[in-house]
Structure 1
Amino acid sequence: MNDVSVFGPDFPFAYDDWITHPMGLGYLPATSHGARVAIIGSGAAGVIAGYELMKLGALPILFESGQFGGRLRSQPFEGAEGVIAELGGMRFPVSSTGFYHYIDKLGIESAPFPNPLTPAAGSTVIDLLGQTHYAVTLDDLPPLYREVAEAYDKALEDGANFSALQRAIRNRDRAGIKEIWDPIVRAWDERTFYDFVASSDAFQALSFRHREAFGQVGFGTGGWDSDFPNSMLEILRVNVTECDSHQRYMVGGVAQMPRRLWHHAPERLVHWPAGTTLSRLNEGGTRAGAIRIRRRADGGFDVTDQWRRTEHFDAVLVTCQSHMLSTVIDTEERLFSHDLWMALDRTRYMQSAKTFVMVDRAFWKDKNPVTGRDTMSMTLTDRMTRGTYLFDNGPDKPSVICLSYSWMTDALKVLPLSAERRVELALSSLANIYPDVDIRSHILGDPITVSWEMDPNFLGAFKGALPGHYRYNHRMFGHFMQDDLPPHERGIFMAGDGVSWTPAWVEGAVQTSLNAVAGIIRHLGGGFFPENPSPSDAYPQWGPVKLPD
Structure 2
Amino acid sequence: MSVTQNAPATHASAKPVTLFGPDFPFPFDDWIAHPDGLGVLPSHCHGQEVAIVGAGMAGMVAAYELMKLGLKPVIYEASKMGGRLRSQHFEGAQGVVAELGGMRFPVSSTAFYHYVNQLGLQTQPFPNPLTPASGSTVVDLEGKTYYAESLADLPPLFREVAQAWAEALEKDARFSEVQAAIKARDVATLKHIWNDLIPKWDDRTFYDFVASSDAFKRLSFQHREVFGQVGFGTGGWDSDFPNSMLEILRVVMTNCDENQRLIVGGADQVPHGLWELAPAKPVHWPAGTTLASLHGGATRAGVARIARAPNGQLAVTDRWGDTREYAAVLTTCQSWLLTTQIDCEESLFSQKMWMALDRTRYMQSSKTFVMVDRPFWKDKDPETGRDLMSMTLTDRLTRGTYLFDNGPDKPAVICLSYAWMGDALKMLPQPVEKRVKLALDALKKIYPKVDIASHIIGDPICVSWEADPHFLGAFKGALPGHYRYNQRMYAHFVQKTMPAEQRGIFIAGDDVSWTPAWVEGAVQTSLNAVWGIVHHLGGHTHASNPGPGDVFDTLGPIALPD
Q: TM-score, normalised to structure 1's length? A: 1.00
* 2:131 pairs with 1:118: yes
Q: 1:168 aligns with which of 181, 186, 197?
A: 181
1:2 matched to which residue of 2? 15
Q: 1:56 aligns with which of 60, 69, 72?
A: 69
1:87 matched to which residue of 2? 100
* 2:140 pairs with 1:127: yes
Offset of 1:530 from its aligned partner?
1.1
Structure 2 counterpart of 1:156, one-letter code:
L
Structure 1 counterpart of 2:176, one-letter code:
S
Q: 5+ unaligned residues in a row in structure 1: which ranges?
A: none
1:291 matched to which residue of 2? 304
CA deviation digits over 1:177-209, x for unaligned, max 9?
A: 011100100111100000000000000000000
**Which structure 2 residues correspond to residues 323-362 of structure 1 after superposition, within 5 A?**
323-362=336-375
RMSD (Å) for aligned C-alpha atoms? 0.5
1:466 matched to which residue of 2? 479
1:412 matched to which residue of 2? 425
* 2:553 pairs with 1:536: no
* 2:556 pairs with 1:548: no
* 2:499 pairs with 1:497: no
Offset of 1:260 from its aligned partner?
1.0
Q: 1:191 aligns with which of 178, 184, 204?
A: 204
* 2:263 pairs with 1:260: no
2:6 matched to which residue of 1? none
Distance of 1:546 and 1:487 partners within structure 2:
22
Offset of 1:31 from its aligned partner?
1.2
CA deviation digits over 1:63-101, x for unaligned, max 9?
A: 000011100000000010100000000000000000000
1:304 matched to which residue of 2? 317
**Which structure 2 residues correspond to residues 99-114 of structure 1 after superposition, within 5 A?**
99-114=112-127
Distance of 2:473 and 2:405 partners within structure 1:
29
Distance of 1:179 and 1:478 partners within structure 2:
19
The alignment-based identity, stated in percent, is 67
Offset of 1:114 from its aligned partner?
0.2
SS of 1:537 mapped into structure 2: coil
2:260 matched to which residue of 1? 247
1:47 matched to which residue of 2? 60
Distance of 1:17 and 1:440 partners within structure 2:
49
Distance of 1:547 and 1:312 partners within structure 2:
36
Distance of 2:240 and 2:558 partners within structure 1:
24
Offset of 1:297 from its aligned partner?
2.2
Q: 5+ unaligned residues in a row in structure 2: which ranges?
A: 1-13
2:28 matched to which residue of 1? 15
Distance of 1:38 and 1:283 partners within structure 2:
16
Structure 1 counterpart of 2:426, one-letter code:
K
Question: Stretches of 4+ moved more than 2 A in 1?
Answer: none
SS of 2:366 mapped into structure 1: strand
1:443 matched to which residue of 2? 456
SS of 2:550 mapped into structure 1: helix
* 2:110 pairs with 1:97: yes
Q: TM-score, normalised to structure 2's length? A: 0.97
SS of 1:403 mapped into structure 2: strand
Moved more, 529-538 or 466-475: 529-538
1:398 matched to which residue of 2? 411
Offset of 1:447 from its aligned partner?
0.1
* Paired positions, count: 549
Offset of 1:47 from its aligned partner?
0.4
SS of 2:393 mapped into structure 1: strand
Distance of 1:545 and 1:525 partners within structure 2:
27
Offset of 1:166 from its aligned partner?
0.3
1:218 matched to which residue of 2? 231
Q: 1:144 aligns with which of 140, 157, 160?
A: 157
SS of 1:122 mapped into structure 2: coil
CA deviation digits over 1:10-62, x for unaligned, max 9?
A: 00000000000000001101011112110000000000000000000011000
1:370 matched to which residue of 2? 383
Offset of 1:370 from its aligned partner?
1.6
SS of 1:480 mapped into structure 2: coil
Structure 2 counterpart of 1:97, one-letter code:
T
1:77 matched to which residue of 2? 90
Distance of 2:382 and 2:308 partners within structure 1:
71
CA deviation digits over 1:239-273, x for unaligned, max 9?
A: 00000010000000000111111011000100111
Moved more, 497-506 or 26-35: 26-35
Distance of 1:466 and 1:87 partners within structure 2:
25
Q: 1:434 aligns with which of 407, 422, 447?
A: 447
Offset of 1:312 from its aligned partner?
1.1
Distance of 1:476 and 1:223 partners within structure 2:
29
Distance of 2:456 and 2:311 partners within structure 1:
60
SS of 2:492 mapped into structure 1: helix
Structure 1 counterpart of 2:271, one-letter code:
P
Distance of 2:202 and 2:281 partners within structure 1:
43
Q: 1:181 aligns with which of 171, 175, 194?
A: 194
* 2:295 pairs with 1:282: yes
Structure 1 counterpart of 2:23, one-letter code:
D
